[in-house]
Amino acid sequence: MTPHELEQYLHEHIPLSLAMQVSVEEASPVQVVLGAPLRPNINHRDTVFGGSASALAILSAWSLLHTKLTAAGYKTRLVIQRNTMSYEHAIVGHFTARAQSPTPEAWQAFTRMLERKARARITVSSTLWYDGAEAGHFEGEFVALGTTGA
């Protein structure tokens, strides 16, 4: 899945991503980087709204799993079950969220359970970046339901 294909998918299927003007800067089964401008995500203090920052982090982690599952031939319903988000400092411009692939061992356990039970959980992290520095950290547990393929 190319960055352009993923961006189109997000904008079509997750309308919030279009309203936030989310762009896909990188998309692979190893890493997904999403970006968003300040203007549509601004709060009353002229900084990024915390909900927008959290949404971008969730979208990056979800997109990583979606890309990784698609590349491996799985078709599932992928939902977030729970998450934590921490914010390091205010964001006053274009920001990104970078999600990286879980360890090979975690991925293998996840796909094995998905194939056996048609339901599996996995934790994915994402880091918010602004102006070359970490601005926040997200960790979420996602559930994949049903599977065909692979």
Is 111 inside a domain boundary? no
Residue 55 within any structural domain of the chain? yes
Confidence of residue 146 (pLDDT cuts 50, 70, 90): confident
Q: What is the pLDDT of residues 45-76, one digit of tens each?
A: 999 999 999 999 999 999 999 999 999 999 99
Q: Is 1 exposed, middle or buried (0-12, 13-18, 19+ CB in 10 A)?
A: middle
Using the predicted structure, report yes or no on whether residue 150 has a pLDDT greater than 60.
no
**Which pLDDT band holds residue 148 (cuts at 50, 70, 90)?**
low
Taking the CA of residue 74 as centre, how many other CA atoms within 13 Å lie in the half-sphere pointing to its CB?
24
In a domain, 109, yes or no: no
Number of compact structural domains in the chain: 1
- pLDDT of amino acid 87: 97
Tens digits of residue pLDDT in 26-42: 999 999 999 999 999 99
Q: Kindly report the CATH number assigned to the domain that includes residue 21.
A: 3.10.129.10
Q: Is position 145 within any domain?
A: no
